[in-house]
Amino acid sequence: MIKLLRIVSLLEGLSYIAILSVTLGFISRDYVSTLGMTHGILFMIYVIQVLNISHKESWTSKQQLGLMLASVIPFAFIPAEIYLRKLGQSKQEEKETTAA
pLDDT per residue as tens digits for the range 23-55: 898 988 998 999 999 999 999 999 999 999 999
d(CA 96, CA 93): 5
Neighbours of 6 (CB within 10 A): 20
Report the pLDDT averaged over residues 57-67.
Answer: 93
Domains in the chain, number:
1
pLDDT at 100 over 70: no
Neighbours of 95 (CB within 10 A): 10
d(CA 49, CA 75): 19
Q: Give residue 33's domain range.
A: 2-99
Q: What is the dihedral sign for C-alpha 50, 88, 3, 66?
A: positive
- Chain segment 64-95, per-residue pLDDT in tens: 999 999 999 999 999 999 999 999 898 888 88
pLDDT at 99 over 80: no
User: Amino acid identity, residue 61?
Assistant: S
